[in-house]
Amino acid sequence: MSDWGPLYWLIAALLVGVVLTSVVMPFLRPRPPKPKRPGKQGTVRSGAGSQRRRNPDGVPASVPLVLTKHVKQRMTQRDIPEAWLRGTVANPVRVTPDTKERSRCFEQVFDDTHGNITVRHTVKVWVSDADGWPPRKEAVVKSTAAQRSAAIRIRGDQVGEFIGKGGSGIRRLESSTGSKIHVDDDGRILITADTVETVLRTRAMVVAALR
């Protein structure tokens, strides 16, 4: 028994060393770096901020646009810059098939300021899909339209006074300006019309009516 004593303690020490190594070593090893999360899809970072990636439902950049005479007339009548028209079909926020007209309606919004008033332009562009979609040789633009809007906020206690009995106050303004007026319960008033001038004139009348 005395001859086995040193060997016994040696084997025991080796076993303890193996157990400690298996338990302690994983904590001593350097952890691999966590993979970086990919950036949010749908945006491209640039020095001027962020902008949306090209919408896959838009007209491909390789397909030339054909602007008919009617479209050019509508652009002049509705005060729609060509850059807005092209931006709408290239990167729409909404695309709606129009089976009756054999076309697709593209929609995009553009904001600009007039003094300290922000006016939103909702632009629609109809592109023919009579030859199938997406177009391969050319995209024929059939028509375009735009709606302008601006918002103003009033106090909650002014809402009833502004609307008038049975909506008479709103109807009177709509009749005299040709605009549409929507009032939320929280006091937000949205004015929509075909032209910027009408929107701004109606907004000024709303402000004057509440003084």
Question: For the chain, which residues make up each domain, given as ranges?
Answer: 54-148, 154-209
Count other C-beta atoms under 10 Å from residue 22's C-beta. Answer: 9
- CATH code of 154-209, in short, is 3.30.1370.10
> Does residue 35 register a pLDDT over 50?
no
- pTM across the whole model: 0.70
* Integer angstrom CA distances of residue 27 from 13, 30, 36: 22, 8, 23
Task: Convert the pLDDT of each residue in 70-123 to its tens digit.
Answer: 999 999 999 999 999 999 999 999 999 998 889 999 999 999 999 999 999 999
